[in-house]
């Protein structure tokens, strides 16, 4: 289903081409002055310079070629050669009917050729509670997964937990020192207890203690490194204890992700790539990529004489050294993060064969992924440019620094969700929403409002930018917020229920009023929003569209009475526009991972 912007773009390209102008210059964009036009093309200015012609005269010739196009109500030349296009109401009505009839996609197009895509967007470490630092990866990754599927790709979402590194050795030694897991410390094949000797609370307490001790006590650090190597080497007792770490952690992780409406096709960890380690290491050695370096084994990923451009936080760009070697095996014999990441790429190649793999991970990991990706390309584990690190900014406090509790600690994700839900209950009661609901239904709606507030606050910002966390502002039912969008969806649902009770139904769409014209034009823009968000890997484009759609409907609702319209045909038309707006808003919010309630 083609949107009007694309259709008109093709017509304008053809008109420019007839004047000998490169199609790349004949772009059509939404108008900067919606009061004057719906779309505009500024191509005549650049084209005239190349052709050594007068831009306004060239624009006039292009406009003449567009005369008579039934989709256009007017074509005007403005300024030095801008071409302003106003869409005919009849064309908008036809497009709006197509959108209304397409309840599953709301007029959005699919990709010409579907790809196999893996999105890696979890990454929390096993044995540690999730905190606010995990929020952006989960929210952005889930939205991208939904967006890529919506566009037609075959997508696999992978949690990729940190369950195989040094933190496991730290916990094994800490458990042993406290006498919590004596049965697992012995040599031999077991059997070992089936019941976990530790709870998640134990792991939450032990990990920071062990991590702190490792920084201060070299002997403790060496014991933890040795335990890590023995775990990875297959020591039975350590493996059995590690499995308990993973099991108790994973249940908590699934609960936290479930509360965020985030799910994965693969709940894999770094350890799932371990069976491929021998094959990968042998291959890297055989190809000469794995070399000895001061007792460790590394892959040199830099090209001879290479320098790189590096972007600094202030936006300036400097010359930077080439990336350092990828550390594959430490001097203690342990696999490193880069090792498991590289083995995971090989594992995915064998199991899935993706055309594209996206890693939704903090921007501060950029160099790590550059090393891993370069090693993967050198080893032939991935096609060139098929691996992308999608970095993101931080969620900051009012002081502009990464968000923390008032006491200065890292806020647990569970506590953040609970705080948001408490605030949602408070705001719903203040607005006298949900007074007639049962306690269970009220709680379910409060949770949806809370998650909508958190997710929209995040996704309404460009992925690469940081933003300030302000729960009071995010939870408002006014302005650019998740709760406002939910309220708009609920209001349209209420309107449609009243219409049904009165025996009214949607019918043929007729555009006459300016607010109807604007709403139909906004409905048409959804397809392009999904394309742009997909191509740029930027969910905020869909968030922006959802907000514009809600605003456009609100203006339409105020200017164009629906249930008391002057005649039955107008009622039916406006009901159809209302339902199309609801369907598209619900789909857009779903792409953001936001569920809409039936009522409030």
Residues 69 and 150 in one domain: no
Residue 510 to residue 246: CA distance in whole angstroms: 59
Number of domains in the chain: 3
CB 582 within 8 A of CB 476: no
Section 337-350 average pLDDT:
94
Residues 341 and 481 in one domain: no
Residues 425 and 479 in one domain: yes
Predicted pLDDT of residue 6: 94
CB 146 within 8 A of CB 106: no
Residues 513 and 436 in one domain: yes
Does 356 have pLDDT greater than 70? yes
Residues 422 and 355 in one domain: no
DSSP label at residue 303: P
CATH number, domain of 489, equals 1.10.730.10
Q: Does a structural domain hold residue 290?
A: no
H/E run at residue 62:
helix 55-66
Residues 6+ positions from 194 with CB-CB distance below 8 Å: none
Does 77 have pLDDT greater than 60? yes
Residues 6+ positions from 362 with CB-CB distance below 8 Å: 133, 136, 137, 391, 392, 394
CATH number, domain of 180, equals 3.40.50.620
CB 529 within 8 A of CB 542: yes
Predicted pLDDT of residue 407: 65
Q: Does a structural domain hold residue 401?
A: no
Query: Which pLDDT band holds residue 586 (cuts at 50, 70, 90)?
Result: very high
Q: Does a structural domain hold residue 195?
A: yes
pTM: 0.92
Residues 164 and 205 in one domain: yes
Handedness of CA 281, 286, 287, 290 (dihedral sign): positive
Residues 6+ positions from 446 with CB-CB distance below 8 Å: 421, 424, 425, 428, 434
Does 177 have pLDDT greater than 60? yes
Q: Does a structural domain hold residue 167?
A: yes
Secondary structure class of 99 (helix, strand, coil): helix
Residues 362 and 483 in one domain: no
Does 408 have pLDDT greater than 90? no
CB 100 within 8 A of CB 576: yes
Burial class (CB in 10 A: 0-12, 13-18, 19+), 84: buried
CB 362 within 8 A of CB 391: yes
**How many Cβ atoms from other residues are within 10 Å of residue 396's Cβ?**
15
Residues 135 and 10 in one domain: no
Residue 78: both structure tokens together: 């403005």
Residues 37 and 180 in one domain: no
Lowest mean pLDDT among 197-211, 326-340, 469-483: 326-340
Closest CA relative to residue 128, chosen from 253, 229, 216, 226 = 253
Per residue in 300-340, pLDDT (tens digit) is 998 877 777 766 655 677 777 788 999 999 887 777 889 99
Residues 568 and 473 in one domain: yes
Report the chain's C-alpha Rg in angstroms. 28
Cα 366 to Cα 174, 269, 372: the distances in Å are: 32, 20, 10
Q: Does a structural domain hold residue 299?
A: no
Average pLDDT over the chain, rounded to whole? 93
Residues 423 and 488 in one domain: yes
Does 358 have pLDDT greater than 60? yes
Q: Does a structural domain hold residue 352?
A: yes
H/E run at residue 468:
strand 467-468
> What is the separation of C-alpha 94 from the centre of its chain, rounded to a whole number of angstroms?
32
DSSP label at residue 201: H
By residue range, what is the domain housing residue 216?
A: 116-276+332-392
Residue 508 to residue 289: CA distance in whole angstroms: 66
Q: Does a structural domain hold residue 104?
A: no
Q: Does a structural domain hold residue 256?
A: yes
CATH number, domain of 49, equals 3.30.1360.70
Residues 498 and 364 in one domain: no
Q: Which stretches of 306-438 are DSSP H helices?
A: 337-351, 366-379, 413-430
């Amino acid at each position: 289903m083609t949107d009007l912007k694309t259709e008109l773009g093709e017509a304008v390209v053809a008109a420019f081409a007839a004047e000998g102008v490169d199609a790349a210059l004949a772009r059509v964009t939404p108008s900067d002055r919606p009061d004057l036009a719906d779309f505009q093309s500024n191509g005549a200015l650049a084209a005239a310079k190349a052709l050594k012609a007068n831009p306004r005269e060239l624009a006039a010739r292009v406009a003449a070629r567009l005369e008579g196009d039934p989709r256009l109500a007017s074509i005007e030349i403005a300024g030095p050669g801008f071409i302003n296009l106003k869409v005919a109401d009849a064309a908008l009505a036809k497009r709006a009917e197509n959108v209304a009839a397409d309840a599953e996609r709301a007029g959005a197009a699919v990709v010409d050729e579907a790809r196999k895509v893996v999105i890696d967007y979890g990454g929390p470490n096993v044995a540690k509670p999730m905190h606010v630092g995990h929020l952006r990866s989960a929210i952005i990754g889930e939205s991208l997964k939904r967006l890529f599927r919506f566009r037609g790709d075959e997508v696999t979402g992978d949690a990729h937990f940190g369950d195989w590194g040094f933190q496991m050795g730290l916990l094994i030694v800490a458990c042993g020192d406290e006498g919590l897991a004596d049965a697992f410390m012995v040599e031999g094949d077991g059997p070992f207890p089936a019941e976990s000797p530790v709870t998640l609370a134990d792991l939450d307490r032990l990990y920071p203690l062990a991590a702190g001790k490792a920084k201060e006590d070299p002997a403790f650090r060496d014991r933890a490194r040795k335990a890590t190597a023995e775990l990875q080497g297959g020591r039975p007792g350590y493996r059995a204890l590690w499995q308990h770490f993973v099991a108790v952690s994973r249940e908590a992780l699934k609960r936290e992700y479930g509360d965020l409406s985030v799910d994965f096709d693969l709940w894999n960890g770094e350890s799932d790539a371990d069976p491929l380690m021998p094959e990968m290491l042998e291959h890297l050695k055989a190809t000469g990529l794995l070399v000895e370096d001061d007792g460790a084994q590394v892959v040199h990923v830099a090209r001879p004489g290479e320098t790189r451009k590096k972007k600094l936080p202030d936006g300036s760009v400097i010359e930077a050294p080439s990336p350092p070697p990828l550390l594959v095996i430490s001097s203690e014999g342990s696999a490193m993060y880069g090792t498991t990441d590289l083995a995971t790429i090989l594992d995915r190649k064998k199991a899935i064969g993706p055309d594209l793999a996206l890693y939704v991970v903090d921007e501060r990991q950029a160099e790590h992924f550059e090393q891993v990706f370069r090693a993967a390309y050198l080893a032939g584990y991935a096609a060139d440019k098929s691996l992308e690190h999608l970095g993101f900014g931080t969620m900051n406090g009012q002081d502009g620094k990464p968000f923390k509790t008032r006491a200065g600690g890292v806020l647990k994700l569970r506590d953040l969700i609970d705080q948001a839900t408490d605030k949602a209950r408070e705001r719903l009661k203040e607005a006298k929403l949900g007074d007639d609901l049962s306690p269970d239904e009220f709680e379910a709606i409060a949770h949806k409002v809370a998650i909508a507030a958190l997710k929209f606050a995040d996704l309404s910002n460009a992925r690469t930018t940081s933003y300030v966390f302000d729960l009071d502002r995010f939870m408002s039912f006014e302005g650019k917020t998740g709760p406002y969008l939910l309220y708009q969806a609920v209001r349209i649902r209420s309107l449609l229920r009243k219409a049904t009770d009165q025996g009214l139904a949607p019918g043929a769409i007729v555009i006459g009023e300016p607010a109807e014209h604007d709403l139909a034009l906004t409905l048409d823009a959804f397809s392009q929003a999904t394309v742009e968000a997909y191509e740029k890997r930027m969910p905020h484009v869909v968030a922006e569209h959802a907000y514009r759609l809600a605003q456009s409907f609100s203006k339409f609702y105020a200017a164009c009475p629906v249930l008391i319209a002057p005649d039955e045909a107008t009622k039916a038309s406006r009901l159809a526009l209302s339902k199309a707006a609801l369907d598209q808003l619900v789909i857009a919010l779903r792409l953001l991972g936001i569920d809409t309630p039936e009522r409030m």
